[in-house]
Structure 1
Amino acid sequence: MGIMNRRKKKKWLIWGISVILAGAVAGAFIFMPKGTVAFQSELAETRDIMTFHNFPGIIDAKNRETVLSDKPMQICDINVNVGDQVRKGDVLMVTAFGEEIKASINGEVAQLGVKENMPMAAGTEMVKLVDYENLETNVKVDEMSIQFLETGQKIKVTINAFAKELSGTIAAISNEAVNENGVAYFSVAVDLEEDEDLRIGMSTEVKIIKEEAKAATVLPMDVIFFDNANKPYVLQPSKDGEPVKKGISTGINDGMVVEVKSGVRAGESVMHEPNEEGLLEQLFWR
């Protein structure tokens, strides 16, 4: 019982200290004399800023072939085994009547579905070839974003398994959308640069630039405020050091910083109130 009581007292003590600190912070903002708490400053910087469209995808072979028997036949000679590399035009097998079954792509023999002297019906899968050297990622792009894409466009592709970014080129865009749960998607094939780590079935993230501002004046999002009319402004120091409102116009943002089109120039300082940690530091250490 003594141990349990000490634990309860410790818990209530910690809770009580937390409440006191929170009250101290809140009271400081309300009752502190003007100028007691110093504002923090932030410099406007020059930086390129971009926003992106992101689309998930899956890696697949750009070229694959499933060879089917076009009529009843019997194979007398099979020239390949699973795992063999073949070139377009190589003879894969020969029928009992001397007909040659040839590869129509470069690739690897991924599967054999027949044996020598085994009779086959029309439509039998005889061999599957997969080109593992030329891979692509297939992504679904919504109808609102398809306007930003075109064949031949260079893009960046992140391979999620390795957090690796590769170059890609849009090879094909479907002419018809597929409707899924009320949303229309277009299929987009993106050729990938060669990389020995890639495997079919891996997930990808395709990144395409949506908006871009070169050498823009930027500020962190948390130093920008909005008035009752939802117009943005910042706080700048006056001659006596007190903050005054300065209206600005903004452009794009990347979730961290905002493009400032007018009102503040690169190198100029803006002011903002310290967060709880900064306020406590000023309260107890100044």
Structure 2
Amino acid sequence: MKQKKKSKKKIVIWSIVGLLAAFFVTGAIFKPKEVDASEKEKAIIGDITTYYSFSGAVEAKNRKTITSNAPMQIEEIKVHVGDQVKSGDVLIVTKQGDKIKASIDGEISKLDVEENTEVMSGAPLIEIVDYSVLQTTVKVDEYDLKYLNVGKEVEVTLNALEKVIKGTVSAISKEATYENGVSYFTATIDLVHDNAIKVGMSTEAKILKQRAIGVTTLSMKAIQFDSKNKSYVLIPSEKGAPTKKYIQIGINDGTTSEIKSGLKAGEEVVIANQENNPAAMMHGGNE
């Protein structure tokens, strides 16, 4: 009987220990993390600019593939790949005495025939490319088309060169292409001359979307959002925990946000741990 009582007593003791352990573990997991009040930031006056971005690739504006207009026998080829030619230069002489001439200025990029061979009508003979005049063609969503017009100047980033150059919209397609459930138009952008640019390089054209000059700004990491997606900041308090203050935000560039009201330049806020604010991590765009 004594052993049974001791066993029951041990079970009760261990049960109490287990409950206490579970209580402390649960408390540690669900206890809200304290805000690190040592990390603070002041709102400042600054500028914010946002852009629409469109991807494309570098192309030659002028490219010509010369083809035979009748059956012929090639007697002499007067050029080699890489040669520079002018419009009107003789490229090929046939055994019939005909002379095939260049129709544009440029560089011989490809030879499709050899001497002493016969070709059929319509066969490709020579390709000429003018590498001095380059362009990029980008896809533009139908909803963004209103921000583009022929003659508009844009910034074009050459990813491989890590260089930004100027470009001008020279043409916009009159008909859309439907692809993967989205209608898009093509815009052709003429690029300023730069010897470092090569055909095929990827590009990113940027067109001004919104701009806010001389406004109150704050980093996005300092802004929190409640369950109703209303934005607020934490104001430091000498008495203890920071206090919540709601603000109205404007445009943002993904890093910095415009503060329209609720906070003035020079005011200090506490930057909270973003892990405690899932809404802040999911929030995107402008309010």
User: TM bucket by the smaller chain?
Assistant: 0.7 to 0.9
**Aligned partners of 1:40 and 1:274 also within 8 Å:** no
The answer to whether 1:199 aligns with 2:198 is: yes
Residue 98 of structure 2 is aligned to residue 71 of structure 1: no
Over 3 Å counting, the alpha-carbon distance change for 1:212 and 1:275 in structure 2 is: closer
CA RMSD of aligned residues (A): 3.0
Give, in angstroms, the shift of residue 107 of structure 1: 0.9
1:151 shift after superposition:
1.8
Matched, 1:152 2:151: yes
1:166 CA drift (Å): 2.4
C-alpha spacing 1:81/1:40, structure 2 compared with 1 (3 Å): closer
Q: What letter corresponds to residue 213 of structure 1 in structure 2?
A: A
1:91 maps to amino acid: V
CA distance in structure 2 between the partners assigned to 1:273 and 1:185 by the alignment: 41
TM-score, length of structure 1 as denominator length: 0.76
Q: 1:56 Cα shift?
A: 2.0
The equivalent residue for 1:120 is 119
Instruction: Quote the offset at 1:221 in angstroms.
Output: 1.6
Match of 2:45 in 1: 46
Report the alpha carbon displacement of residue 238 of structure 1 after superposing the two structures with TM: 6.1
Q: Structure 2 CA distance, aligned partners of 1:38 and 1:132?
A: 59
Report what 1:8 is aligned to. none
CA drift of 1:106 comes to: 1.4
* Unpaired stretches in structure 1, ≥5 consecutive residues: 1-19, 31-35, 277-286
What displacement does 1:43 show? 0.7
Q: When the two structures are superposed, what TM-score results if normalisation uses the length of structure 2? A: 0.75
Q: Which residue of 1 aligns with 2:161?
A: 162
The runs of at least 4 aligned residues of structure 1 exceeding 6 Å deviation read 23-26
Contact 2:110 2:127 survives alignment (8 Å): yes
Judged with a 3 Å threshold, the aligned counterparts in structure 2 of structure 1 residues 271 and 114 are, in CA distance, closer, same or farther, namely closer
Does the aligned pair in 2 maintain the 1:39–1:273 contact within 8 Å? no
SS at structure 2 position matched to 1:83: coil
**Letter aligned with residue 94 of structure 1:** V
The 5-angstrom pairing of residues 52-91 of structure 1 reads: 52-91=51-90
Equivalent AA in structure 2 for residue 93 of structure 1: I
Identify if the C-alpha distance between structure 1 residues 27 and 246 changes in structure 2 by more than 3 Å, giving closer, same or farther: closer
How many residues align? The count is 252
The one-letter code sitting in structure 2 at the alignment partner of 1:106 is D
* Partners of 1:229 and 1:207 in 2: CA distance: 33
Report the Cα distance in structure 2 between the residues aligned to 1:228 and 1:27, rounded to whole angstroms.
19
Code of the aligned partner of 2:201:
M
CA contact (8 A) 2:134 2:191 kept: yes
Paired with 1:266 and 1:206, the residues of 2 have a C-alpha distance of 33
Residue 6 of structure 1 is matched in structure 2 by: none
With 241-250 and 194-203 compared, the bigger mean Cα shift is at 241-250
Following superposition of structure 1 onto structure 2, how do residues 157-236 of structure 1 map, counting pairs within 5 Å? 157-227=156-226, 229-236=228-235
SS at structure 2 position matched to 1:63 = strand
- CA–CA distance in 2 between the matches of 1:229 and 1:162? 44
Q: Which runs of 5+ in 2 are unaligned?
A: 1-23, 276-287
